[in-house]
Structure 1
Amino acid sequence: MSASRPDPPPPSGPPQQPWGPRPPAPRRRRRWQWVVLVLALLLVGGCVAVIGVVANKVSKESSRTVRITYAAAGNTQDVDITYSTWRDGDLEVNQDNDARLPWTKEIHTKGFLKGGTLVVTLGPDGGTATCSVTVDDARPITATASGAFASAVCKGF
């Protein structure tokens, strides 16, 4: 009798194919992470560029000097004139009581805030008065008032 050999244990796992084991599937690279990173960098870069442009314009505007010409004319005398101007961030208010028409005042100012108001107030005798404010060579802002104690107000420049 011949000794029989024991049968080998059955293989664990999937059966072996005669042509060899199947290679693992190639790993797909995740590209969405790179797309998100590029979009985030573009967004940040765009924001930085916009902030830089705005900061440059604000800086130029705050250092620019403008010429403001206040004027008042009319057919009456002894008017009260009040004018205000922003100068280097501070509001400066001046008053000229019992002024004679025609009246003019020219100032130069700079700073981020510019402008102000011009108010021409007629006296008890009434009449007509017109105020006018011109910034550099722009179109003037004007207003007219008639009657006793009426006021012509020029603002928004």
Structure 2
Amino acid sequence: MSTPHPGGGPAHGQWVPPPAHARKGRRKWPWVLLVVVLLLAGGCTALVLGLAEETGKTVRVRYEVTGSAKGVAIAYTTWKDGALVTQKEGPRDLPWRKELTTKDFVKGGLLAVTTGKGGGTVSCSVTVNDRRPWTAAASGPDATATCSGF
């Protein structure tokens, strides 16, 4: 049996593990960084695939606006070369309908309808390839109904 060192430390020749801050273990940050990069890459890939899901296919987009408002302003998305382009019409009386087909479709479209100072009601509806429509409604002076995200 060894006798303790007079200073309270280990006896001569006895092995003592190094302090925790001096240990050379495996570093975790490169693995954490790798996981973060992989998650970001996977998320970006899913986003791009989701946005381009209809690219190359012929897509039919049907816009419809109804209501009692007179002289409304309408802004809607069209697609050209894979980019979103905003078209504007107005002042117009309701109902208003427009249908278009495109092969450059990417998600993120918009249909916004604004009543004038005279108020009234407006409802918008957007249907893409006969799927469930995006809808919204608004009423009052200078009110806006917005269908977006299709």
**2:87 corresponds to 1:86:** no
- Deviation (angstroms), 1:139: 0.9
Tell whether the 8 Å contact from 1:128 to 1:147 is kept in structure 2 after alignment. yes
Give the match for residue 99 of structure 2.
106
Gaps of 5+ in 2: 1-45
Residues 8-67 of structure 1: per-residue CA shift (max 9 Å, x gap): xxxxxxxxxxxxxxxxxxxxxxxxxxxxxxxxxxxxxxxxxxxxxx9xx99884211100
Higher mean C-alpha displacement, 65-74 vs 77-86: 77-86
Give the match for residue 90 of structure 2.
97
Residues 111-157 of structure 1: per-residue CA shift (max 9 Å, x gap): 36245100000000111100110001111110000110000000011
Give the match for residue 65 of structure 2.
72
TM-score, structure 1 length as denominator?
Answer: 0.59
Distance 1:64 1:126, change over 3 A: same
Distance 1:124 1:64, change over 3 A: same
Distance 1:100 1:111, change over 3 A: same
Distance 1:87 1:115, change over 3 A: farther
- Deviation (angstroms), 1:101: 0.3
| Larger Rg computed on CA atoms | 1
TM-score, structure 2 length as denominator?
Answer: 0.62
Tell whether the 8 Å contact from 2:59 to 2:105 is kept in structure 1 after alignment. no
1:1-157 pair list within 5 angstroms: 61-111=54-104, 113-157=106-150
Moved segments of 4+, more than 4 Å: 57-60
SS of equivalent to 1:63: coil
Tell whether the 8 Å contact from 1:87 to 1:113 is kept in structure 2 after alignment. no
SS of equivalent to 1:131: strand
Gaps of 5+ in 1: 1-53
Counting matched residue pairs gives: 103
The alignment-based identity, stated in percent, is 49
SS of equivalent to 2:55: helix
- Deviation (angstroms), 1:93: 1.1
